[in-house]
C-alpha cells in the first residue's frame, strides 16, 4: 500500500537554529504513527511544516513531502488551503489558541464544512451535532451554542477532535492532544481517537512525549531527538528491542507501575538536549551517551535492525 | 513523631455568587520521614491543601500542626525553618528578575541573622548539592532550562534545612528524562537530610515511585488513604480504581483501558449530595445518591465508599 | 518588516526625547540670547529660511523682539520640567495606592477603588482651571495640581499588575521563605511591575505637557513672561496671519515632542512586554 503521508529528509531552520534536521517518516492509511521526543526536539515543527503553517521566518526544505502522492512542496497556497482542514486535518497542541473565543462552537464547526464542501447550514449543523455525540459529548445541541471558554479542557479537546473530523479527513495530525488533561480524561480521549481511527480508517500522526501513550495506541513509532528521527520501528519491536541509546535511556526513565522499587533511583539521562545549528555534524546525543566515542563526531550511518526497524547510531545493527 | 497533622480542614472560595468548596473536612497525618502522596484530578483541591499546610492560606475551620506545633502559633521565620515548598511551574516559581544566587539566598536573608559570608558559602554548597555548577549562581532564571530551574527551586527550599517539604507537582512540567533526574534528586535529598514530603502529583506512577503512603482526593475530600503498596495492589474506592485503570504503562499491545467515568466533569461549586462521586461512579447504587458515605477505617488508612 | 518600522519609531522617539532632555538640562548653555531680553526694534524678525533674516536670530524674534530660538529652548525646559515632575508626583501617589490595593486586597483595595472612581469622575481641565483661577497661576502650583490629578492611570495599572504578580508562585515562595511584607513588595512585586509603570510614566509625561500647554494657552498655566510653548502660541495668535511662523514653530515642537514621547512609550511597552512573556 502506498503511504498517505511521506516525509523525506525534512529540514526546517529558524535563522541559526535547526529545528528539524533531515527527518523522514511515512504514515500509511489506517495506521497510527507516533512521534515521540522531548520538548523542543521538533515534533510540532514537523507537523506544522506538513500543514505549511510555519511562521514566516522559518525555512522549509525536503527531498519529498507528499500527501496521497501529491507533492506538497509544489502545491500553491490555495491548493494547500483546499487540503488543510479537509483531506488532512490537525489538532493543535493548545486548544485555546486554535478555537476562536469570539464564536460559538457550532459556528466554528459548521464554517469548516461550508467552506470546503459547500454544505448547507442545516446539513452542517446536523453533522456537527452528530460528531459531537460521536466524540462522547452528552448534550451536543447545548454545546454547539456555547463559547470555547465555557467548556472544560476535556470537552474543548473533544470539540477540537470533532471539528477536525468534519470533512472526513484521510489524515489526522494530533499534536499532544492530551498533554493538558487529567489521566482519566486522557484515557477517554485516546480511546475515542483510537476508536475513530479504527472505524474511519484514517491515518493518524500522533505527537506526544508520553511513552505510555505510544505503547498503547501506536502501530509504529518514530523517536525524535534534536530534530532527527533517531529510531523508527513497529511499536512492539521498539519497546522490546530499543537500539538507539537515547531510546533505551528514555525507556529507563519512565517509572512503570507495578515494577517500581522505591529505594532505587530511576534510570535517568544526564544532561539536557543541546541546541544545534544547521551545520551541526555527528550525533547530537553524544554528550549524554554512554557509548559515545570519536566516530560519533562525524556523520552517522542509519542501521537497519530489521526491515521495518532502523536507527541512527554508530553502534552496529 | 508526626510531621504534618491536618484535622478537619476546610477551605472555601467565593467566586462571584458561587462558593467553591476546595478542601472539605480533610484530615491527614504524615509521620516524620514519610512521604505522603496526594493524587486526584485537576481542580480537586490538591494545591489548596498544600497552601493550607504551608500557611499560605488560612483555613476556614480545622487545625493544622507542623512538627507538633500549631501553624497559627508559629511566626513566619520559625515556619520557614520548618516547612518549605517546591511548586509545579518552574517558570512562575522563580522571580524572573533575580539572579539564581539571590533566589537561593532569600530564605537565609529573610531570617536576618546570617552574615554575608555565611550566606554566600551556604548558597554555594546548596547549589552544588542540587547539581548546579558555580557559574549558575550569576544567571537569571530565563537562562536556565526547566530542569535547572526546578533544581534552583529545590535549593531554595532546602537552604534553611527545613524538616518538611511540600512538593506541588514538582515534575509535571518537565520532560521524562528531566523528571527522572529531579525525582532521583528529591529521593536522595530526603534520605540524606531526613526530610518529610507532602508530594502532590497527578501521575500515579510517579507517586508510586516516591510515596510511602497515598491519599486520593476527589472534589475536595480524601476518599481513600492507604500505604502505597496496599493502595496500588488493592484499591477499594471506585475512583481510585478508575485512576489506576487510566495509567498508561509503557506496555505495548494492551490498548487504552475503558475508565467508565463519563464526560461530565464535577463542578466544585455544586457538590452532589450523598456520595459526591456517584454521578460518575460506574458501580453506584440508588442509596449512593442520598447517603453520605462514612469513613470506613482500614488497618493503615481508610476509604469513603458505601460499597467498599 | 513591521518590527523594523516599530524599531524605527522607537529610535525616532528616543532621539526626540533625548534632544528635548538635553535642551532642558543645558538650556542656559545652549541659548544664544537671553530669552527674556526684549528688543522692540527687532520685533517679529523672520526665521532663517525666509528672505531678510537676521543671522543673530536663527528662528527670528517674537512680537516683543525676544529671540525665538532661546524662548523655544527654555519652553522645552519648562515642558520637560512640568512633564517629569507631574509624572513623579502622580507616580508616587498612584503607585502607592495601586500597589497597596492590589497587594493587600479586601478593605484597603475597596478604599483604593473608591479613590480611583472618585478621581475619574473629576474633570481634570475644569478642576485645574478652578484651582489656578482661585489661587493664581504659578509653575509650582501647576505641577502640584496636575500631579494630584493625573495619578489614576498609575493606580489602575499598578493595581492590576500587582494583583497578577501577587498570585505567582515566586511570591508564594517568598512568603514561605519567611520574607516580610515589605521585602516581598519591594523585592519581588515592584521590580516585576516596574516595566509597566515606565510605560505609564511616558504617557503621563506627554499628557502633562499637553495639559500645561492648553492651560497656558488659556492664560491659566505658566505665567508670563516664562516662555512656555502653550503661552508662546497664545501670545502669537494675534500675529499668525502676517507672521505664521510664530505660531507654527512652537506648535510643531509641541507636536513632535509629544509624538516622540508616545513613540518611545510604545517601543518600551513592546520591548518590556516581550521580555516579560518569555
Ligand atoms: N517560531 C519559532 N521561531 C524560532 N524557533 C522556533 C520557532 N518554533 C519552534 N522553534 C524551535 O524549534 C525547535 C523545535 O520546536 P517544536 O515546537 O517543534 O518542539 P516540540 O518537539 O513540539 O516540543 P514540545 O514538546 O515542547 O511541544 C525548538 O528548539 C524551538 O525553540
Ligand atoms: N484563589 C482562588 N479563588 C477562587 N477559587 C479558587 C482559588 N484557588 C483555587 N480555587 C478553586 O478551588 C478548587 C481547587 O483548586 P486547586 O488549585 O486546589 O486544585 P488542584 O487539585 O491543585 O488542581 P490542579 O491539578 O489543576 O493543580 C478549584 O475548583 C479552583 O477553581
Ligand atoms: S551515535 Fe554515538 S553518541 Fe549517538 S547514540 Fe550512538 S553511540 Fe551514542
Ligand atoms: Mg510541540
Ligand atoms: Mg494544583
Our answer on whether the CB atom of A317 is closer than 6 Å to any ligand 3 atom is no
In the predicted structure, residue C3 carries a pLDDT above the cut 70:
no
- C176 touching B (Cβ < 8 Å): yes
Contacts of C174 in chain B (CB under 8 A): 95, 106, 110
When CB atoms are compared, the residue of B208, B210, B258 closest to A257 is: B208
Confidence label for C275 from pLDDT (cuts 50, 70 and 90): very low
Question: What is the SS3 assignment for B28?
Answer: strand
Averaged confidence pLDDT in chain C: 82
With 0-12 CB in 10 A as exposed, 13-18 as middle and 19+ as buried, what is C2? exposed
- How far apart CA B215 and CA B206 sit, in angstroms, is 14
B235-260 mean pLDDT: 87
When CB atoms are compared, the residue of C170, C174, C179 closest to B92 is: C170
The pLDDT assigned to A161 comes to 86
A3, A20 in Cβ contact below 8 A?
no
CATH of B2-304, one of 3.50.50.60, 3.30.300.10, 3.40.50.300, 1.20.120.1200: 3.40.50.300
The bridge status of strand B196-200 relative to strand B164-168 is parallel
Cα nearest neighbour of C180 on chain B: B110
- How far apart CA C10 and CA C21 sit, in angstroms, is 16
Helix, strand, coil percentages (3-state) for chain A, rounded to 5, are 35, 25, 40
Number of domains in chain C: 1
Q: Which carries the bigger pLDDT value, residue B64 or residue B16?
A: B64
The pLDDT assigned to A49 comes to 92
In the predicted structure, residue B281 carries a pLDDT above the cut 70:
yes
Lowest mean pLDDT among A120-134, B255-269, C96-110: B255-269
Our answer on whether the CB atom of A19 is closer than 6 Å to any ligand 1 atom is yes
The pLDDT assigned to B263 comes to 62
Report the percent of chain C where pLDDT is more than 90: 20
Closest CA to B78 of B164, B9, B12, B155: B164
Confidence label for B157 from pLDDT (cuts 50, 70 and 90): very high
CA C78 to chain centroid: 10
Our answer on whether the CB atom of A313 is closer than 6 Å to any ligand 3 atom is yes
- How far apart CA A77 and CA A72 sit, in angstroms, is 10
In the predicted structure, residue B80 carries a pLDDT above the cut 60:
yes
- How far apart CA C34 and CA C198 sit, in angstroms, is 35
Chosen for mutation from B88, B97, B167 (greatest number of chain C CBs closer than 10 Å) is B97
Which residues have beta carbons under 5 A from ligand 4 (an ion)?
A 44, 93
In the predicted structure, residue B280 carries a pLDDT above the cut 80:
yes
Averaged confidence pLDDT in chain B: 89
Asked whether residue C241 is domain-assigned, the answer is yes
The most distant pair of C-alpha atoms in chain C lies apart, rounded to whole Å, by 76
The pLDDT assigned to C174 comes to 94
For the whole model, what pTM was predicted? 0.84
B146, B94 in Cβ contact below 8 A?
no
Convert the pLDDT of each residue in B94-125 to its tens digit.
999 999 999 999 999 999 888 899 999 999 99
Strand (E) positions, A28-178? 32-36, 58-61, 64-67, 70-71, 88-91, 171-175
- How far apart CA B268 and CA B73 sit, in angstroms, is 31
Q: Backbone phi, then psi, for C238, in 5-degree steps?
A: -70, -20
- B96 touching C (Cβ < 8 Å): yes
Q: Which CATH number do you get for residue C205?
A: 1.10.3720.10
Q: Is A152 within 8 Å of B265 when comparing Cβ atoms?
A: yes
Specify the residue with its C-alpha closest to ligand 2, atom 17.
Answer: B47
C182 CB neighbour count, 10 Å cutoff: 8
**CA-to-CA separations, C257 to B163, C147, C275, in angstroms, rounded:** 60, 20, 27
- How far apart CA B11 and CA B49 sit, in angstroms, is 8
The most distant pair of C-alpha atoms in chain B lies apart, rounded to whole Å, by 68
Low-confidence ranges of chain A (pLDDT < 70): 1, 95-96, 258, 260, 262
The most distant pair of C-alpha atoms in chain A lies apart, rounded to whole Å, by 66
In the predicted structure, residue B199 carries a pLDDT above the cut 90:
yes
The pLDDT assigned to C222 comes to 75
Confidence label for B87 from pLDDT (cuts 50, 70 and 90): very high
- Whether omega before A216 lies within 30 degrees of 0, making that bond cis, reads no
Residues 76-115 of B with CB under 8 A from A: none
The pLDDT assigned to B161 comes to 92
Query: In ligand 2, which atom is closest to the CA atom of B45?
Result: 18
Say how many Å lie between the first and final Cα of chain A, rounded: 27
Closest CA to A298 of A313, A311, A308: A313
**CA-to-CA separations, B263 to A152, A188, B22, in angstroms, rounded:** 10, 8, 21
Confidence label for C5 from pLDDT (cuts 50, 70 and 90): low
In the predicted structure, residue C22 carries a pLDDT above the cut 50:
yes
The bridge status of strand B213-218 relative to strand B196-200 is unpaired
Parse chain B into domains and list their residue ranges.
2-304
Domains, chain A, with CATH or none: 5-87+170-312 (3.40.50.300), 98-166 (no CATH)
Confidence label for B54 from pLDDT (cuts 50, 70 and 90): very high
- How far apart CA A30 and CA A24 sit, in angstroms, is 19
C49-56 mean pLDDT: 71
- B76 touching C (Cβ < 8 Å): yes
B156 CB neighbour count, 10 Å cutoff: 29
Distance from the alpha carbon of residue A45 to the mean position of ligand 4, in angstroms:
7
In the predicted structure, residue C28 carries a pLDDT above the cut 90:
no
- How far does B275 lie from chain A, in Å, by closest CA? 19
Say how many Å lie between the first and final Cα of chain C, rounded: 22
- How far apart CA A160 and CA A157 sit, in angstroms, is 5
The pLDDT assigned to C277 comes to 38
Taking each continuous run of H as one helix and of E as one strand, the counts in chain C are 12, 0
C100-114 mean pLDDT: 90
Contacts of A250 in chain B (CB under 8 A): 176-177
- How far apart CA B237 and CA A247 sit, in angstroms, is 36
The pLDDT assigned to A94 comes to 72
Closest CA to A7 of A19, A22, A166: A22
Contacts of C168 in chain B (CB under 8 A): 92-93
Containing structural domain, residue C213? 2-33+45-277
- How far apart CA B259 and CA A184 sit, in angstroms, is 7
Lowest mean pLDDT among B13-27, B99-113, B226-240: B13-27
Closest CA to B82 of B91, B90, B73, B92: B73
Q: Which helix (H) or strand (E) holds B21?
A: strand B18-31
Asked whether residue C203 is domain-assigned, the answer is yes
Closest CA to B232 of A217, A262, A185: A262
Chosen for mutation from B75, B95, B98, B109 (greatest number of chain C CBs closer than 10 Å) is B95
Asked whether residue C116 is domain-assigned, the answer is yes
In the predicted structure, residue B223 carries a pLDDT above the cut 80:
yes
Convert the pLDDT of each residue in A192-217 to its tens digit.
888 888 888 889 999 998 888 999 99
Amino acid at each position: 500500500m502506498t503511504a498517505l503521508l511521506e516525509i523525506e529528509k525534512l529540514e526546517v531552520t529558524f535563522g541559526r537554529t535547526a529545528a528539524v534536521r533531515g527527518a523522514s517518516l511515512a504514515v500509511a492509511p489506517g495506521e497510527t504513527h507516533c512521534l515521540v521526543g522531548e520538548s523542543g526536539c521538533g515534533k510540532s515543527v514537523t507537523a506544522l511544516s506538513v500543514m505549511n503553517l510555519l511562521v514566516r521566518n522559518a525555512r522549509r526544505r525536503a527531498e519529498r513531502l507528499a500527501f496521497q502522492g501529491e507533492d506538497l512542496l509544489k502545491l500553491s497556497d490555495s491548493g494547500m488551503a483546499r487540503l488543510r482542514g479537509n483531506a488532512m486535518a490537525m489538532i493543535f497542541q493548545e486548544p485555546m489558541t486554535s478555537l476562536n473565543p469570539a464564536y460559538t462552537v457550532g459556528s466554528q464547526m459548521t464554517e469548516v464544512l461550508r467552506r470546503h464542501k459547500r454544505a448547507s447550514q442545516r446539513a452542517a449543523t446536523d453533522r456537527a451535532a452528530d460528531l459531537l455525540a460521536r466524540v462522547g459529548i452528552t448534550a451536543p445541541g447545548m454545546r454547539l451554542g456555547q463559547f470555547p471558554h465555557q467548556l472544560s479542557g476535556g470537552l474543548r479537546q473533544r470539540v477540537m477532535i470533532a471539528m477536525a473530523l468534519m470533512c472526513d479527513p484521510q489524515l489526522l495530525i494530533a499534536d499532544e492532544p492530551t498533554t493538558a488533561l487529567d489521566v482519566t480524561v486522557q484515557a477517554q480521549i485516546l480511546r475515542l481517537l483510537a476508536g475513530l481511527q479504527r472505524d474511519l480508517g484514517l491515518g493518524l500522526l500522533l505527537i506526544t512525549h508520553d511513552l505510555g501513550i505510544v505503547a498503547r495506541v501506536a502501530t509504529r513509532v518514530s523517536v525524535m531527538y534534536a530534530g532527527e528521527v533517531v529510531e523508527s520501528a513497529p511499536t512492539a519491536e521498539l519497546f522490546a528491542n530499543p537500539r538507539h541509546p537515547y531510546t533505551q535511556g528514555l525507556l529507563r526513565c519512565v517509572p512503570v507501575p507495578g515494577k517500581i522499587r522505591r529505594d532505587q533511583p530511576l534510570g535517568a539521562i544526564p544532561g539536557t538536549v543541546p541546541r544545534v545549528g544547521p551545520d551541526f555534524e555527528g550525533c547530537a546525543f553524544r554528550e549524554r551517551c554512554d557509548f559515545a566515542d570519536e566516530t560519533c563526531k562525524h556523520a552517522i550511518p542509519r542501521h537497519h535492525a530489521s526491515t521495518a526497524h532502523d536507527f541512527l547510531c554508530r553502534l552496529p545493527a | 513523631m508526626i510531621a504534618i497533622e491536618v484535622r478537619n480542614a476546610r477551605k472555601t472560595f467565593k467566586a462571584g455568587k458561587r462558593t467553591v468548596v476546595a478542601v472539605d473536612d480533610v484530615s491527614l497525618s504524615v509521620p516524620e520521614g514519610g512521604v505522603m502522596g496526594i493524587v486526584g484530578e485537576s481542580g480537586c483541591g490538591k494545591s489548596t491543601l498544600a497552601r493550607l499546610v504551608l500557611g499560605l492560606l488560612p483555613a476556614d475551620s480545622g487545625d493544622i500542626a507542623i512538627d507538633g506545633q500549631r501553624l497559627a502559633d508559629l511566626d513566619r521565620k520559625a515556619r520557614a525553618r520548618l516547612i518549605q515548598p517546591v511548586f509545579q511551574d518552574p517558570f512562575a516559581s522563580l522571580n524572573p528578575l533575580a539572579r539564581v544566587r539571590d533566589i537561593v539566598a532569600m530564605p537565609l536573608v529573610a531570617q536576618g541573622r546570617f552574615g554575608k559570608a555565611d550566606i554566600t558559602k551556604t548558597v554555594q554548597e546548596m547549589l552544588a548539592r542540587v547539581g548546579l555548577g558555580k557559574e549558575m549562581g550569576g544567571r537569571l532564571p530565563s537562562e536556565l532550562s526547566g530542569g535547572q530551574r526546578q533544581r534552583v527551586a529545590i535549593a531554595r527550599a532546602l537552604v534553611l534545612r527545613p524538616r518538611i517539604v511540600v512538593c506541588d507537582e514538582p515534575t509535571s512540567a518537565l520532560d521524562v528524562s528531566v523528571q527522572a533526574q529531579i525525582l532521583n534528586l528529591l529521593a536522595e535529598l530526603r534520605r540524606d537530610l531526613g526530610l518529610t514530603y507532602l508530594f502532590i502529583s497527578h501521575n500515579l506512577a510517579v507517586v508510586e515511585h516516591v510515596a510511602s503512603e497515598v491519599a486520593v482526593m476527589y472534589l475536595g475530600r480524601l476518599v481513600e488513604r492507604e500505604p502505597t503498596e496496599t493502595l496500588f495492589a488493592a484499591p477499594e474506592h471506585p475512583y481510585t480504581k478508575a485512576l489506576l485503570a487510566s495509567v498508561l504503562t509503557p506496555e505495548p499491545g494492551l490498548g487504552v483501558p475503558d475508565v467508565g467515568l463519563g464526560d461530565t466533569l464535577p463542578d466544585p461549586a455544586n457538590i452532589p449530595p450523598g456520595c459526591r462521586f456517584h454521578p460518575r461512579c460506574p458501580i453506584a447504587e440508588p442509596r449512593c445518591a442520598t447517603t453520605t458515605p462514612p469513613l470506613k477505617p482500614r488497618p493503615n488508612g481508610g476509604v469513603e465508599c458505601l460499597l467498599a | 518588516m513591521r518590527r523594523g518600522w516599530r524599531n524605527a519609531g522607537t529610535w525616532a522617539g528616543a532621539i526626540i526625547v533625548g534632544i528635548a532632555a538635553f535642551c532642558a538640562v543645558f538650556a542656559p548653555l545652549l541659548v544664544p540670547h537671553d530669552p527674556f531680553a526684549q528688543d522692540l526694534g527687532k520685533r517679529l524678525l523672520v526665521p532663517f529660511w525666509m528672505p531678510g533674516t537676521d543671522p543673530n536670530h536663527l528662528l527670528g524674534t517674537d512680537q516683543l523682539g525676544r529671540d525665538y530660538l532661546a524662548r523655544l529652548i527654555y519652553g522645552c525646559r519648562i515642558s520637560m520640567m512640568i512633564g517629569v515632575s507631574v509624572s513623579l508626583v502622580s507616580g508616587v501617589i498612584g503607585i502607592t495606592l495601586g500597589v497597596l490595593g492590589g497587594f493587600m486586597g479586601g478593605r484597603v483595595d475597596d478604599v483604593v477603588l473608591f479613590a480611583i472612581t472618585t478621581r475619574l469622575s473629576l474633570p481634570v481641565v475644569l478642576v485645574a482651571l478652578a484651582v489656578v483661577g482661585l489661587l493664581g497661576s504659578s509653575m509650582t502650583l501647576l505641577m502640584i495640581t496636575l500631579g494630584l490629578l493625573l495619578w489614576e492611570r498609575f493606580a489602575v495599572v499598578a493595581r492590576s499588575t500587582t494583583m497578577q504578580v501577587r498570585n505567582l508562585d515566586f511570591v508564594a515562595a517568598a512568603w514561605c521563605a519567611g520574607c516580610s511584607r515589605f521585602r516581598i513588595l519591594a523585592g519581588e512585586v515592584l521590580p516585576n511591575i516596574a516595566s509597566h509603570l515606565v510605560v505609564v510614566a511616558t504617557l503621563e509625561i506627554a499628557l502633562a505637557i499637553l495639559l500645561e500647554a492648553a492651560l497656558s494657552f488659556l492664560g491659566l498655566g505658566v505665567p508670563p513672561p516664562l516662555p512656555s510653548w502653550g503661552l508662546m502660541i497664545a501670545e502669537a495668535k494675534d500675529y499668525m496671519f502676517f507672521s505664521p511662523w510664530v505660531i507654527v514653530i512652537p506648535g510643531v515642537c509641541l507636536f513632535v515632542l509629544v509624538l516622540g514621547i508616545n513613540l518611545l512609550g510604545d517601543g518600551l511597552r513592546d520591548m518590556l512586554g516581550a521580555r516579560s512573556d518569555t
